[in-house]
Amino acid sequence: MEHNHDTESMGDKRLATAIAVNVMLTVAQVIGGTISGSLSLIADALHNLSDAAALGIALFARKIGRKPPDKFKTFGYKRAEIIAALINLTTLIIIGLYLTYQAIWRFVEPELIEGWIVVIVAGIALCVDVITAALTYTMSKKSMNIKAAFLHNVSDALASVGVLIAGTLILLYGWYWTDTLLTLVIAGYVLWQGFTMLPKTMHLLMEGTPDHLSIEEVIKSMESVEGVKNIHHVHIWQLDEHLNALEAHVVVNSNELSQIEEIKSVLKKLLSDRFEIGHSTLEFEHPEQNICESYNRSC
């Protein structure tokens, strides 16, 4: 328990550090983009600001998610991180749409850009993005919310590389249009990233069946257990991104409590070992109860 607390505390410190670094970088990029007239640099700054906000929300959600279950939230507060992911992704999509609008308008009213400022600030941004990604990489393996923040930083690093290229082309050839083009590329990547992760987050919040599980396969496996006659009224959902839950009615031939308890133990072990369902609620019935006429699974 103490080891988990130390690990979580270290993770919180890493997130706090990443937030501070991204906020400072955002300020530097906005100043550099305003002075140089580079829209792609400001676009990258807004993306970095969204990263800082995403990390801040992720940190806040992590703290809430560690609260134990109570009479108001009997399953606990782990879904706070999923709500945070939804907020972050929605904001990301709004930013992507705004950047697209700004880039299109820049085609109508082009501006001169100071290439050296773009190159210098983008170079600093690339270093910061790499540092932030390194701070969040380990945690991203186990959390959808942190993974979203990590992917943001990776995309930021790619965007900074793009801005460096645009700044260099402006210095060498005076190709000012490359700045606007790179802005559209960054915006497109942001939108793709947001729309890719958003359905998964909403599916979890809507208590959808986990993607890797088939209700038909679960029922078939449960009905193969000796003593089980029928499985119906099955619901499978995710309590959070790591814990799957199931509710089902189990029709058995036995009236003996000891045999029913044995069947229950076998079913729960099957659900846990084969399907990674850690929380299951099973209601047992006897055929003579006729609760489900003809054992219609839609009941």
CA angle 283, 286, 290 (to 5 degrees): 100
Q: What is the pLDDT of residue 2?
A: 44
Q: List, by residue range, all CATH 3.30.70.1350 domains of the chain.
A: 215-295
User: Measured between alpha carbons, how far is 124 from 285 in angstroms, rounded to an integer?
Assistant: 66
User: Which element (helix H / strand E) includes 139?
Assistant: helix 115-140
Cβ atoms of 82 and 241 closer than 8 Å: yes
Structure tokens at 210: 């986990």
Q: What is the pLDDT of residue 112?
A: 53
- Phi/psi at 189 (5° precision): -65, -40
User: Measured between alpha carbons, how far is 213 from 106 in angstroms, rounded to an integer?
Assistant: 48
**What architecture is domain 2-205?**
Up-down Bundle (1.20)
Find, among 211, 186, 194, the residue nearest to 85 by Cα.
Answer: 194
User: Measured between alpha carbons, how far is 60 from 73 in angstroms, rounded to an integer?
Assistant: 18
Q: What is the pLDDT of residue 248?
A: 94
User: Measured between alpha carbons, how far is 115 from 38 in angstroms, rounded to an integer?
Assistant: 8
User: Measured between alpha carbons, how far is 294 from 158 in angstroms, rounded to an integer?
Assistant: 59
Distance, CA of 50 to chain centre: 14
Q: What is the pLDDT of residue 49?
A: 78
**What architecture is domain 215-295?**
2-Layer Sandwich (3.30)
pTM of structure: 0.68
Q: List, by residue range, all CATH 1.20.1510.10 domains of the chain.
A: 2-205
Distances (CA, A) of 72 to 19, 76, 241: 31, 9, 21
Q: What is the pLDDT of residue 111?
A: 55
- Phi/psi at 6 (5° precision): -65, -40
Q: Is 299 helix (H, G, I), strand (E, B) or coil?
A: coil
Q: What is the pLDDT of residue 110?
A: 58
Q: What is the pLDDT of residue 283?
A: 92
Bin 284: left if φ > 0, else alpha if -120 < ψ < 50, else beta.
beta
User: Measured between alpha carbons, how far is 233 from 60 in angstroms, rounded to an integer?
Assistant: 37
How long, in residues, is the chain? 299
Q: What is the pLDDT of residue 290?
A: 45
The CA dihedral of 114, 120, 125, 128, to the nearest 10 degrees, is -170
Find, among 163, 170, 167, 169, the residue nearest to 184 by Cα.
Answer: 163
Regions in the chain scoring below 70 on pLDDT: 1-9, 38-41, 43-44, 47, 106-115, 117-118, 149, 151-153, 155-156, 158-159, 288-299
